[in-house]
Amino acid sequence: MTRASRKVIEWPPVAVERWTPADRRLAEALRPADLPRHIAIIMDGNGRWARQHGYRDRIRGHEAGIEAVRQTTRTCASLGVDFLTLFSFSKENWQRPRREVLALMRLLQRFAVDERPELMESGIRLRVIGQLADLPAYARDALLETVRLTAANKATTLTLALSYGGRDEILRAARALAEAAAAGEIDPAQINEAGFAARLDTAGVPDPDLLIRTSGEMRVSNFLLWQIAYAEIHVSPVLWPDFRRRHLLESILDFQRRERRFGGVGTALPRWLAGPRNRP
């Protein structure tokens, strides 16, 4: 896909008029032609936020993080960012205490139901990736119903990665290719990157341009390992429940200061003078 496929929106967006003066200034500093098309976020720091605020129960941090999800999604839709992917629950998270896991599943169910009016009003489409069969039926059913209801929405696509692991995703794709080759459906010599990507959970979605991790941790935590090969990485010290519009805008501004080479030789011209780069 190329930048020509980006949706055309009014700039500055109408929603900016309702933002704080500080947020408006950040938005006005953005170059709309160089916005990331796909932003992925590792939402980290909920447990630490709960401890810092005197809560004994970590779930209070996850509950507080819903507002960060809401504001981040709204902002992406307002800016015209096409895709937002959130690392919501990893395969490894099943190892957490049963009480916390059950509380997270109930929170996920409430989010899927309570956010439907907001998603519909903002034109946001919901997708889910990962091993959804692992989720309890009440959470899975609520999510899939919201996916169905929002399927025709045309603004930002919000993808929740649930019971997800990057290595697991790659293994499942490799297994599918091996089975197809064993059945004589494909020639192993013809397998290429595009064919492999088509069997990933994210098939049909462009790779992330920008990966954001909150809470200051310097690791990718088994998230979108294939897809972030050329993503720019921004690490925010802010704990996820405190992540707000200004932090997202600052992350995008940092992204726009980078020179993306994709393995090639750099240019003496800044990216915004050299012109937009066509990307697969």
Asked whether residue 84 is assigned to any structural domain, the reply reads yes
Q: Tell me, what's the pLDDT at 179?
A: 97
Asked whether residue 51 is assigned to any structural domain, the reply reads yes
Q: Tell me, what's the pLDDT at 251?
A: 98
Concerning whether 44 is annotated as a catalytic residue, the answer is yes
Domain interval for residue 69:
38-258
Asked whether residue 71 is assigned to any structural domain, the reply reads yes
Asked whether residue 4 is assigned to any structural domain, the reply reads no
Concerning whether 57 is annotated as a catalytic residue, the answer is no
Asked whether residue 268 is assigned to any structural domain, the reply reads no
Catalytic residue of the set 93, 168, 222, 254: 93
User: 202-234 burial string, b = 16+ CB within 10 Å, else e?
Assistant: beebbbbbbbbbbbeeeebebbbebbbeebbbb
Asked whether residue 265 is assigned to any structural domain, the reply reads no
Q: Tell me, what's the pLDDT at 4?
A: 40
Asked whether residue 33 is assigned to any structural domain, the reply reads no
- Please, are residues 208 and 38 in contact by the beta-carbon 8 Å criterion? yes
CATH number at residue 118: 3.40.1180.10
Q: Tell me, what's the pLDDT at 2?
A: 38
Q: How far apart are CA 206 and CA 39, in angstroms?
A: 10
Q: Tell me, what's the pLDDT at 3?
A: 41
Asked whether residue 163 is assigned to any structural domain, the reply reads yes
Number of domains forming the structure of the chain: 1
In the chain (280 residues long), the average pLDDT of successive 10-residue segments reads 55 91 96 97 98 96 98 97 98 97 98 98 97 98 98 97 98 98 96 97 98 98 98 98 98 96 65 44
Q: How far is CA 118 from CA 5, 71, 165, 221, 279, in A?
A: 26, 11, 28, 30, 32
Catalytic residue of the set 23, 34, 44, 209: 44
- Please, are residues 80 and 13 in contact by the beta-carbon 8 Å criterion? yes
Q: How far apart are CA 130 and CA 133, in angstroms?
A: 9
132-173 per-position pLDDT tens digit: 999 999 999 999 999 999 999 999 999 999 999 999 999 999
